[in-house]
Structure 1
């Protein structure tokens, strides 16, 4: 029986039987006397449990509550494995967006650490032993993230000063947030742009200023969002979908066949061991970047226009060296 389960069991026995002999505890909990006494001490010190030994009654019982914090076991109970999973998840969230939920998560961490106790895995162990390495992560203003997340969840519009890198200019837009997306080490806001009257994705690191509006956000159906923003390859998507067919060498197929490039991709092995991958795309920008990562172990079978674009990029790359 896990220690956290034993705490709950001790509490239940004392409430049901009022006075519980030591032998009953040892048989019910299936632990040694030393372990049982450590559990009692922990309940007294960490949870302020008023458990006393009644010599006349021949067992342990709850005494009248003492001054100080009221005795109460956590209403939401986790065993050690679940607590470790939660702490690991918190560590992941901390790395994805430092400070976003800190003020809400820190009190929870203290309670989880209380459940784990001394001598087991600690928050410090999680931080030291489990590492999340983010490569080429893009930096953005944490205040912007909080405002954007608030607007997404509270269904409010935003006014953003959005920097367009390709034109080196900043445009002020009013948008209706639909969802936040974490993609390839960067955060994006998927929103209805009231300037262009269409769905678009805005990188948070390109936001120079963010203002929360009192106006309610325009709601776009999940079906329309999926069709326009999720139908094609990568973050650059659109309505006009084409299909790219790629062939990877037998050696490269060992890795590519296990990768998910798109949720609607199709793939199969050829008799010679090569791998054919078919993925949908609208804007080819990101797809070309990923194809170039696998050169020379990849061929663009179709469409011809995509093959020519890849050749052009390769030629420019060689000429620039």
Structure 2
């Protein structure tokens, strides 16, 4: 088990290095980085593995093709299977955690796991297979906001995305890219006799840039939102920003004020309410009124 763990860690270390800011990594630099990273993880001395063997294993296990550019004198990622989730850093971190436990299988002695993990779904392996092999899928979909109405769907699956302990399927229904909660999918079927051309022009980073969480509703305008908190809540919002667009306007002993630029969706409003102890919505006025009404109705229910 130890040798397998070491080998997989080496592969992840190499991938992490090659997915960095530098396009080409010279042989000497890459080998030095691998040696230092593995020594830091408790593996000293030579492993007996060659860089060429590691590169072959990376291609086999992760679908990532690594090549050497003679002109630039460095290794680089030539291409990678787009169906592989880009979580190499997170996977490496998990291996580092297990390695630090030095073989102790009683994980609860050291680590308290979060109870609210992404819910397991029997649909995930089928959806990953359908995405990878470009097969349409059909399923029955439960519309929670419409009294659990059920609709028949046939879509072209493109991506799986995790958000707030839930999995979501990004798929084309007709010409529209839509989001489906995997936990609301029933009777999933893969149309194995059909294939489609996957749209590789989707800019995934931009797709959710102006939204909070998974719901990107183009009909909702992108707005500047100014929020005020006390200094205590400010400490938490500095360590874990509300949104990638967060700008700190004021930070002192009396208040913490920020501005974010996004679409004001239901998910975003719910997130604001989760830290309502000191929240004050400064702008826009319609969001301030929306939050006020939520508080007012909650007060009536709890009188």
> Equivalents in 2 of 1:249, 1:266: separation in Å?
16
Alignment pair present for 1:233 and 2:212: yes
- Which of these residues, 172, 178, 183, is aligned with residue 200 of structure 1? 178
Following superposition, the deviation at residue 123 of structure 1 comes to 6.5
- Alpha-carbon distance in 2 for matches of 1:245, 1:87: 37
- In 2, Cα distance between the equivalents of 1:276 and 1:220? 41
Q: What residue number does 1:154 align with?
A: 133
Partner Cα distance (2:227, 2:135) in 1: 42
Measured in 1, the distance between the counterparts of 2:131 and 2:95 equals 21
Q: Is the 8 A contact 1:248 1:298 kept in 2?
A: yes
- Quote the residue 1:166 is aligned against: 145
Give the alignment's TM-score, normalised by structure 1. 0.57
Q: Note the alpha carbon deviations across 1:209-233, whole angstroms, 9 max, x for none.
A: 2111233345345555444433212
- CA displacement 1:208-263 (0-9 Å, x = unmatched): 12111233345345555444433212222122322222111122111112113222
SS in 2 for 1:124: coil
1:245, 1:277 within 8 Å by CA — same for their partners in 2?
A: yes
Shift of residue 270 of structure 1?
4.0
Task: Identify which of 272, 276, 281 aligns with 2:257.
Answer: 276
| Residue in structure 2 matched with residue 320 of structure 1 by the alignment | 301
**SS of the counterpart of 1:288?**
helix
- State how far apart, in whole Å, the 2-side matches of 1:233 and 1:87 are: 27
Unaligned runs of 5+ in 1: 5-71, 77-84, 93-108
- Please give the alpha-carbon distance, in whole angstroms, between the structure 2 residues aligned to 1:126 and 1:88: 15
**8 A Cα contact 1:267 1:277, kept in partner:** yes
After superposition, the C-alpha distances for 1:6-59 in whole angstroms (9 at most, x for unaligned) are: xxxxxxxxxxxxxxxxxxxxxxxxxxxxxxxxxxxxxxxxxxxxxxxxxxxxxx
Contact 1:244 1:278 in 2 (8 A): yes
Provide the residue aligned with 2:247 in structure 1. Answer: 266
Q: TM-score, normalised by structure 2?
A: 0.61
Where does 1:240-319 land on structure 2 (aligned, <5 Å)? 240-270=221-251, 273-319=254-300
Distance, in Å, in 1 between the alignment partners of 2:236 and 2:160 is: 29
* Pair 207,270 (structure 1): closer, same or farther in 2 beyond 3 Å: same
Whole-Å Cα distance in 2 between the matches of residues 250 and 126 of structure 1?
36
CA distance in 1 between counterparts of 2:104 and 2:299 reads 50
Verify the 8 A CA contact 1:158 1:177 in the aligned structure 2. yes
The partner residue of 2:156 within 176, 180, 190 is 176
**8 Å Cα contact 1:157-1:217 kept in structure 2:** yes
CA distance in 2, matches of 1:170, 1:146: 23
Change (3 A) 1:271 1:283: closer
Root mean square deviation, CA, Å: 3.5
Any unmatched runs of 5+ in structure 2? 4-47, 55-89
